[in-house]
Every structure is written in structure tokens, then in C-alpha cells.
Amino acid sequence: MNILILGGTVFLGRHIVDAATTRGHRVTLFNRGKHGAGLFSGLEQLRGDRAGDLSALRDRRWDAVVDTCGNHPRAVAASARLLAENVEHYTYISTVSVYRDFPVQSGLDESAPTAELSASSAEEISESNFGALKAASERALVSALPGRALLVRPGLIVGPHDPTGRLTYWPLRIAEGGEVLAPGDPDAPMQLIDVRDIAAWIVLAIERRLTGPFNVAGREYVITMSELLELCQLECGRCTLTWRDDAFLLSHGVVPRRDLPLWSPNALGAMTIATTKARSEGLFCQDLRATVRDTFLWASALPPERRPRNWLSRTRESELLNAAPRALASGPAY
């Protein structure tokens, strides 16, 4: 097939390119050329800006398009309208945060109602309205290409080339050894999915012309935070984990999703997304131990200045570990 990818040089996009070309598909990239210099030099690359200049896409035909970077309904609607007569199938990378009751309600499936965008938040993209903007973008796409749109709703994506460092922090920190601050409840569920598993499934879904919404968030049997950190120790080295509960961290000004990755109190729904529908259509989720190992190997090979942000500094970590009588340490376990 001839596949157009909007974006394609950052994280999920680059893995979709790899998965598609491995399957023998011809890929064209459309982006601004600001990321991934030197990537995919053998592929056709069109330059433009989906927020205003789509001229490079005019009068071209593709079998399918994958939209990896549409965060605003106006931009998604513009590309969808332009391509509607020239593509057979349109895949949109959305998010599980489109659901109205996310992240409070657990077990959300594709039948759950999605968020509505208020007029006051229709323009600026922020953490508070990101899900509603994605939901509105889904509706704009379906309106432009009825019966031809695949809505991919990922949860927490992890793996090599992740610019957020949300998993990367833990293997790198644990590899340093010593006493490591472990956040929140050790039994808190962690539902993660390897970026390569999503990419492979998306290419399969395109080949099969799947349409409609699919939660692509990993296994429904989730591991705990404690088990995840144990996997990091198995792959990266020994350390001593010292747990601090949610109340302690919040009272000391630690901000969820900003200071410590994968720690998100009162957000059970974000880690318990129903994925039965996608798994029934071929979604395969590899062992997270392999994800931890490959993420660690990738990040370790990068120069320090090119690694994803380091989140909590060692100085701040030490302050928190010394701020109260020490909790019972869990390790070294291996």
C-alpha cells in the first residue's frame, strides 16, 4: 500500500514508519522538517504545516493516511477535508483521555461517552482540555470521512525514543543504585504499552481497513508500580527502594506527572482501560521486561545532554528521603 503519514519523526510516528516499511508498504511523510533530521532519507518527504500550509498534499492520492500529530479539531478537519477524495482510509492517533469520565472511572471501554469541548477552551491546548480537543477532532474526522476513519486511543505509551522519559527515568535512576525514592502505593496499577506494539497493530489495522474507535492501552491485567520497579532492577541493577505515600509527597509539594513519572494519585481509570476490542483484532502486548530492557539500552547509549528530561533531581530526591523518618525499604531485592 501507499501510506501517507502526517508527522512520522517523533516517537510513535517513527515506529509506525518502521512497521509499515518492514511490511513492504511505500511511505510518504508530511511534516515541517523540524524533528528527526536525517531520519528516513530514503522515503519521500513533503514539507508543510498542517496548521496552515497543506499545499504539498493537493492532487496526490494515497491508499491510507495516518495522522500522528493532530491535536486540534480545526487542523484535523482541514487535512481530512483535503484528503477525503484522495485516500481510502484515515487513521487518527487519539488518546484514552477523550472519555468524559477519564481518569476517575475504571474499566472505560469504547462505548463510554466522550468529553465535550466548551466554547471557552476551544482554542488553547492545555492538560485540562487536551482530551476534549482530541474528542472533537475525532468527531470532525468522522464527519469528513464517514465509515473510513480508524480512531486509535492509546494510553501510556513507553519504549525507545520516548521524548517524555516517563518510563526512561526509572531504569536510568535504578541503574545508578543507592536509595531510590519510590512514589505512592506499591500496589497501584500500571497499564503501559510498548510503542512498537501499537505501531505494529496500527499497520495491521490499516491493512484490514478497520474503522471506529479502539482502546490501545496494553493488557487489561496490569502490573503494579512495585512490580514495574522490580523489573527495572532485574534489567538495570540493584538499588534500595524507599516508598513515600501519596499524602507525604503531595504535602511536600511533589506534583504528579511533573516531578515523578508514572505517579498519578486518584487516577485509577488511567491505568485500567478496557482493551478487549483491540486485542480481539490482533493487538499483541509484549512482556514489559523487554520494554524496560530496550528502553534502558536506548537511553543509556545517548549522550547525557540528549537523554529525556530527568524529572526529579538527585538533590530534591535526597531532600524528600530525609524529610521524615525513613519508611521501611524494600530492597535490594535482587
Q: How far is CA 172 from CA 190, 276, 283, in A?
A: 19, 33, 29
Of 11, 16, 15, 12, nearest to 1 by C-alpha is 16
**Average pLDDT for residues 101-128, to the nearest whole number?**
87
Structure-model confidence comparison of residues 51 and 234, the more confident one: 234
**Average pLDDT for residues 39-43, to the nearest whole number?**
93
pLDDT at 122: 63
Confidence band for 332, pLDDT divided at 50, 70 and 90: very low
- The H-assigned helical ranges of the chain are 12-22, 73-83, 130-144, 169-176, 195-207, 225-236, 246-251, 276-280, 288-300, 314-321
Q: What is the pLDDT of residues 202-245, one digit of tens each?
A: 999 999 999 999 999 998 888 999 999 999 999 999 999 999 99
% of the chain at pLDDT higher than 90: 85
Rounded to whole angstroms, the Cα distance separating 283 from 204 reads 9
Spacing of C-alpha 43 from chain mean position? 25
**Average pLDDT for residues 53-72, to the nearest whole number?**
96
Q: How far is CA 329 from CA 167, 241, 243, 251, in A?
A: 22, 6, 7, 21
**What ranges do the domains of the chain cover?**
2-154
Q: Which of 3-17, 137-151, 318-332 has the lowest mean pLDDT?
A: 318-332
Read off the amino acid at residue 332: P
Q: What is the pLDDT of residues 157-177, one digit of tens each?
A: 999 999 999 999 999 999 999
Confidence band for 120, pLDDT divided at 50, 70 and 90: low
Q: Which secondary structure element, helix H or strand E, spans residue 214, and what is its range?
A: strand 212-216
Confidence band for 266, pLDDT divided at 50, 70 and 90: confident
% of the chain at pLDDT higher than 70: 95
Q: In what order do the strands lie in the sheet with 2-6?
A: 44-47, 26-31, 2-6, 62-67, 87-93, 149-154, 212-216
Length of the chain counted residue by residue: 334
**Average pLDDT for residues 112-123, to the nearest whole number?**
81
Q: Which secondary structure element, helix H or strand E, spans residue 240, and what is its range?
A: strand 240-244
Read off the amino acid at residue 300: S
pLDDT at 40: 94
Q: Which of 31-40, 42-51, 183-192, 279-288 has the lowest mean pLDDT?
A: 31-40
Q: At residue 123, does pLDDT exceed 80?
A: no
Of 280, 275, 284, nearest to 200 by C-alpha is 284
Q: What b/e sequence results for 11-29 when a residue is b if at least 16 CB atoms lie within 10 Å of its CB, and e otherwise? A: bbbbbbbbbbbeeebebbb
Of 105, 242, 215, nearest to 150 by C-alpha is 215
Q: How many other C-beta atoms can be found within 10 angstroms of the C-beta atom of residue 268?
A: 15
Q: What is the pLDDT of residues 127-139, one digit of tens each?
A: 889 999 999 999 9
Q: Which of 36-50, 146-160, 317-331 has the lowest mean pLDDT?
A: 317-331
**Average pLDDT for residues 81-92, to the nearest whole number?**
97
pLDDT at 6: 97
**Average pLDDT for residues 101-113, to the nearest whole number?**
96
> Cβ neighbours of residue 152 under 8 Å, at least 6 residues apart?
91, 92, 93, 94, 198, 202, 205, 214, 216
Q: At residue 333, does pLDDT exceed 50?
A: no
Give, in words, the CATH class of 2-154. Answer: alpha beta
Q: What is the pLDDT of residues 279-301, one digit of tens each?
A: 999 999 999 999 999 999 999 99
pLDDT at 334: 35
DSSP 262-313: T--TT-GGGG----HHHHHTT-----HHHHHHHHHHHHHTS-GGGSPP--S-
